[in-house]
Structure 1
Amino acid sequence: MSKITRATQALGKAGIAFTLHSYDYDADAASIGLQAAEALGIAPRRMLKTLMAEVDGQPVCVVVPSDKEVSMKKLAVAFAGKTARMMRPADAERLTGYHVGGNSPFAQKKKVRTAIEAAALGEATVYLNGGQRGLQIEIAPEAAREALAAIAATLTE
């Protein structure tokens, strides 16, 4: 597995400190994020999943703990919108340039507005997808928020 992805290159170029972790990706897992947390032996609240959604028809990136579900109402409010819905996987892949299970919030093909779960900012470090299946980036949550120019909001139930 290559440890050089668009995500790792972008963070390196920006001078942002991170650590890479590889694990055996299970395509049949009920929850990719929970499987990654278990494989790496970390609390699910520290393993953040990257989801693509639409708020009032505009694409957005949503970063939340792997053991939580996004509230569409809270997501819409975070972006001052009226409605939110999850993006179809094929549309998300086309927009980000990443495959489902390897979708990183960093260095997506098209830059979109991003929101990160505010509770995640209280962790010492969090894990985000490194741009391919089986690769996670461990990073300080505030560094991730800054790198993504993300807003922090309560996004989960």
Structure 2
Amino acid sequence: MARNRATTGGTPATVALERAGVAFTPHAYEHDPAAESFGLEAAHALGVDPARVFKTLLVSVETGLAVGIVPVHRQLDLKALAAALGAKNAVMADPAVAERTTGYVVGGISPLGQKKSLPTVLDVTASGFEAILVSGGKRGLDVELTPDDLARLTSARLAAIAR
């Protein structure tokens, strides 16, 4: 994988990848404002199996906010995520809170380069791929990297959190 600053747009996510010296490939596409699912839109626009494209979701647990990263064609299992975090329960975070906390807009929230480091859980299915795609920090930009690099940079633990 290569780094290409010209196509990344210099988002906090791509800057974090570059600073860490992590190999990644940016994938830009034309975002359709009418798209019902940002993640499925990305998979379709890029011609990538939706199982390899992961969405970043913010949840609220007793101790604060946390991040769940799951394939775009599946849903986040809130009970499984809570268990992976050692929490009693989890609820989806308010979109405005998610945007304020991460510094990204909904549909472009990347697990990388967030304003604040949050507890993160990556769905175990990611480990079945050599490379996965996550948001590059804005709508219309995904970055491809290894699941190991993503887990290392976000201090994510792996768990079965998708249903």
| Equivalent residues in 2 for 1:4-153, closer than 5 Å | 4-153=10-159
> Which moved further from structure 2: 1-10 or 90-99?
1-10
Q: What residue identity is the alignment partner of 1:41?
A: G
* Residue 150 of structure 1: how far off its partner (Å): 0.3
| Partner Cα distance (1:96, 1:79) in 2 | 19
Alignment correspondent of 2:4: none
SS at match of 1:128: strand
Unaligned runs of 5+ in 2: 1-6
| Partner Cα distance (1:27, 1:119) in 2 | 29
Deviation string, structure 1 residues 77-112 (Cα, Å, up to 9, x no partner): 000110100001000000000011111110101111
| Partner Cα distance (1:45, 1:16) in 2 | 22
Q: What residue identity is the alignment partner of 1:82?
A: K
SS at match of 2:82: helix
SS at match of 2:112: coil
Q: Name the % identity.
A: 41
Q: What residue identity is the alignment partner of 1:115?
A: V
| Partner Cα distance (2:33, 2:80) in 1 | 29
The alignment yields a C-alpha RMSD, in angstroms, of 1.1
| Partner Cα distance (2:159, 2:33) in 1 | 30
For the 8 Å contact 2:8–2:136, the answer to whether it is kept is no
TM-score normalised by the chain length of structure 1: 0.97
Q: What residue identity is the alignment partner of 2:70?
A: V
Q: Number of aligned pairs?
A: 157
SS at match of 1:42: coil
Q: What residue identity is the alignment partner of 1:10?
A: A
Moved over 4 A (4+): none
* Residue 3 of structure 1: how far off its partner (Å): 1.9
Alignment correspondent of 1:156: 162
